[in-house]
């Protein structure tokens, strides 16, 4: 889209792109907050060798589980703030009255949230993997499925965060709502990493996880959008 002489581009995609850009810029202005989930991820995954055993052969067996549970919990941390600040300062109301489809705005927010919270986890995955004796040949698959899984989780989490907007003790409630729904992601993701470590073909679970991600991203923006509307009523 071309914006000549200071005219502001309008339209669904332009609005979504503006939301995406704004979210990413806001997140980069507070890098400390942005990297908190990654630090949490590193700390949680360090707990397991300390509590189980430092033997690499044993760690290799359970490393997919540790990686995934750690990533799941770390991305939950960032979810609660997904809509809250915008609820308080009225941005959400502006979304609703802007005439743009709310679900598309929500989708832009999900993608931005994944860019600033999911991608850092993906980038940290080889580091954590190496510390848990995951062979370097499995890094590619691990990063791919973690990327897909966190994207899927951002979608589910957006619905959860929107549903808990007007409620008390939202953070615990959010985990209670999102974690049961996230179990298929955990199953397919951990299984892919497991197969990659063993050097077996990972096509099956990776494709299933991709299908799940596509399905989640096509449906949850609508659920999140209607939940946002309900919380503004």
Q: Contact positions toward another protein, by CB under 8 A?
A: 159, 163-164, 166-170, 173, 176-177, 179-181, 183-184, 187-188, 191, 208, 212, 215, 219-220, 223, 226-227, 230-231, 233
- What single DSSP character describes residue 138? G
Asked if 93 and 167 count as a contact pair (C-beta separation under 8 A), the reply is no
Q: Which is nearer to another protein, 100 or 164 (CB)?
A: 164
Q: How far is the CB of 118 from another protein (least distance, A)?
A: 20
Smallest gap, in angstroms, from Cβ of residue 166 to another protein? 6
Q: What angle do the packed helices 31-51 and 56-79 form, to 10 degrees?
A: 150
Give the list of residues 6+ apart from residue 75 with CB closer than 8 angstroms, or none.
37, 117, 118, 121, 150, 153, 154, 157
> Shortest gap between Cβ of 4 and another protein (angstroms)?
42
> Quick one: 101 or 184, whose CB is closer to another protein?
184
Give me the phi and psi of 67, to 5 degrees please. Answer: -55, -45
**C-alpha to C-alpha distance for 42 and 10, rounded to whole angstroms:** 42
When the beta carbons of 12 and 230 are compared against another protein, the nearer one is 230
Q: Which two three-digit tokens encode residue 72?
A: 């799941």
Smallest gap from Cβ 180 to another protein, in A, equals: 4
Nearer to another protein, 3 or 176 (CB): 176
**Measured from the CB atom, is 138 or 156 closer to another protein?**
156
Separation between Cα atoms, residue 99 and residue 103, nearest integer Å: 11
Min separation Cβ 78 and another protein, Å: 20
């Amino acid at each position: 889209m071309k914006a000549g002489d200071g005219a502001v581009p309008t339209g669904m995609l332009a609005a979504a792109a503006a939301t995406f850009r704004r979210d990413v810029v806001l997140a980069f202005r507070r890098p400390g907050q942005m990297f908190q989930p990654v630090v949490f991820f590193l700390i949680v995954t360090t707990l397991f060798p300390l509590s189980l055993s430092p033997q690499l052969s044993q760690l290799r067996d359970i490393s997919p589980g540790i990686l995934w549970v750690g990533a799941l919990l770390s991305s939950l941390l960032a979810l609660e703030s997904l809509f809250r600040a915008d609820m308080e300062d009225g941005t959400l109301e502006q979304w609703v009255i802007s005439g743009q489809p709310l679900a598309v705005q929500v989708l832009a927010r999900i993608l931005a949230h994944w860019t600033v919270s999911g991608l850092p986890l993906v980038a940290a995955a080889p580091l954590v993997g190496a510390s848990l004796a995951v062979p370097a040949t499995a890094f590619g698959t691990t990063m791919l499925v973690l990327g897909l899984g966190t994207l899927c989780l951002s979608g589910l989490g957006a619905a959860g965060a929107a549903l808990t907007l007007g409620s008390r003790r939202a953070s615990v409630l959010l985990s209670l709502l999102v974690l049961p729904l996230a179990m298929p992601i955990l199953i397919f993701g951990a299984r892919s990493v497991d197969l990659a470590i063993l050097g077996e073909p990972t096509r099956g679970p990776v494709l299933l996880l991709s299908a799940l991600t596509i399905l989640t991203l096509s449906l949850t923006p609508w659920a999140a959008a209607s939940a946002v509307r309900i919380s503004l009523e």
